[in-house]
Structure 1
Amino acid sequence: MPNVLIVGAGAGLSASLARCFRKAGYSVSLAARNTVKLQELADEIGAQLFTCDVCEKSDVHTLFEELDNHNFTLDTVIYNAGAYTRGPITEIDTDLTKETLMINSFGALLVAQQAAKRMLKNGRGAMLFTGASAGVKGFSQSAPFAMGKFALRGLCQSLARELAPQNVHVAHFIIDGLIYSAGRGAPYDDTAITLNPDEIAKTYLYVSEQERSAWTWELELRTNTESF
């Protein structure tokens, strides 16, 4: 049974990813700072839960060591951790900005480093990273988020060039638009203008299983109503 690790797991896209990969026959591991909120999902799909703060190097090391102790060969790692803060440049909370940068980019590097060590040893693997349109265009009053997602995109591009020749597939997903979430209210609960997380998950699964003669390193997903 192939294994997938979803880092930064939660009730939204991560839950759709977990169900999608489990349906495809994967053993699923979920990592998050707060795993209590994931217990119901874990029970539903038989997933393993791991506590991890992606901003802490020791936490990330411990996560992968625990996976090793469970004899999990990591076929796919999905980095879905994210943080957001915004405001005029003269008023931005610099502490929140630092946390945003750490979660959106530095945490991704820590996870990628540990995953790469194991995937290179195994001679194969896939790393998938959730980005945003902010990673290719910085919006007004959104400097912290743009900085973090630009850095994430740069990381993925560098990793793809370094690791692809060694049979490790790296892909960056630009989610251009709002993801449907009934519990968050308007506009997130409007199916006409939001991305369906289950459909996003199917794309992640497809990319993770691409044959190496035709790998995708980056793609954008948006609704038919979203402007470019």
Structure 2
Amino acid sequence: MPEPKRAAIVVGVGAERGLGAALARRFAREGLHVVVAGRTQTRLDQVAASIRAGGGSAEGIAADTTREADVVALFDRAFTGDAVPELVVFNAGNNVRAPIRELEAEVFEAAWRVGTLGGFLVGREAARRLVSLGRGSILFTGASASLRGRAGFAGFAAAKAGLRAVSQSMARELGPLGIHVAHVVIDGGIAGERLESRAPQRVAEAGEDGLLDIDAIAEAYWQLHRQHRSAWTQELDLRPFKESF
């Protein structure tokens, strides 16, 4: 009987020039079958098709990570057939800015549902399946807001700080069971489609190497997955050399 294919799941994939897609391409280069997940099937299909055109293996599965049934179905599908995931990345988030006096409760809750609840659901379903294998990595995408709350970002900061706490608890629980859990703090702007379309002036002001290169970020995630278990990283922060901190 042939050995099952190695696979990865990347949750939070949108534009082709976004971090989620860059992660999926990097993992595919290593021969992993990549399941790309997000809310928009057409975007997922584009990313998967691009990976296949480059010689990799990928498929897109639409899922809303704030819905438990969607997340369970995603993992049930990903862990069937001839591919066994060994790497799961939670990359979803919604950066909402609003003054605290104008921040509506439903907006605050929506940020928490995407950034924290979604991370919990993905992390839990990954853990339930990887523990039986005794190996694998679960990686979470954080932000500067994971560590400190800025004016106008109460909802986003609360969501990201919550996700960081989930990752820490999971690392302590799952590490002894052979599962590497890590949280990546993205401390700076990402040179991708979202920032270029929403804040072109910021991109221009950042200048050369003033933003995080998406492929460089993806390389860091892959190296986390490859770490020997005698020296695992639980939290890694990434920023451009120009970024103050």
Same fold by TM-score, threshold 0.5 exceeded? yes
2:50 pairs with 26, 44, 49, which one? 44
Report Cα offsets for 1:112-140 as digits up to 9, x if no partner. Answer: 11110110111111000000010111111
SS of 1:131's equivalent in the other structure is: strand
User: Which residue identity does 2:223 align to in structure 1?
Assistant: Y
User: Which residue identity does 1:119 align to in structure 2?
Assistant: L
Gaps of 5+ in 2: 53-57
Residue 2 of structure 1 is matched in structure 2 by 6
* Higher mean C-alpha deviation, range 165-174 or range 20-29: 20-29
Answering whether residue 130 of structure 2 is matched by residue 148 of structure 1, we say: no
Residue 241 of structure 2 is matched in structure 1 by 224
4+ residue runs over 3 A deviation: 188-192
Answering whether residue 211 of structure 2 is matched by residue 211 of structure 1, we say: no
Answering whether residue 201 of structure 2 is matched by residue 186 of structure 1, we say: yes
TM-score by length of structure 2 reads: 0.89
SS of 2:88's equivalent in the other structure is: strand
* Contact kept in structure 2, 1:173 and 1:221, CA below 8 Å: yes
Q: CA deviation at 1:71?
A: 4.0
Residue 123 of structure 1 is matched in structure 2 by 134
Q: CA deviation at 1:195?
A: 0.4
Q: Superposed, which structure 2 residues align to 1:1-228 within 5 Å?
A: 1-11=5-15, 12-46=18-52, 47-181=58-192, 183-184=196-197, 185-188=200-203, 190-228=207-245
User: Which residue identity does 1:202 align to in structure 2?
Assistant: E
> How many residues in Structure 1 have an aligned counterpart in Structure 2?
228
* Contact kept in structure 1, 2:88 and 2:137, CA below 8 Å: yes
SS of 1:58's equivalent in the other structure is: helix
Q: CA deviation at 1:87?
A: 1.5
Equivalent-residue separation in structure 1 for 2:7 and 2:83 (angstroms): 7
Report Cα offsets for 1:164-186 as digits up to 9, x if no partner. Answer: 00000000000000000254223
TM-score by length of structure 1 reads: 0.96
Q: CA deviation at 1:88?
A: 1.4
* Higher mean C-alpha deviation, range 188-197 or range 82-91: 188-197
Residue 55 of structure 2 is matched in structure 1 by none
User: Which residue identity does 2:212 align to in structure 1?
Assistant: L
SS of 1:82's equivalent in the other structure is: coil
* Contact kept in structure 2, 1:74 and 1:115, CA below 8 Å: no
- Paired-residue identity, %: 39
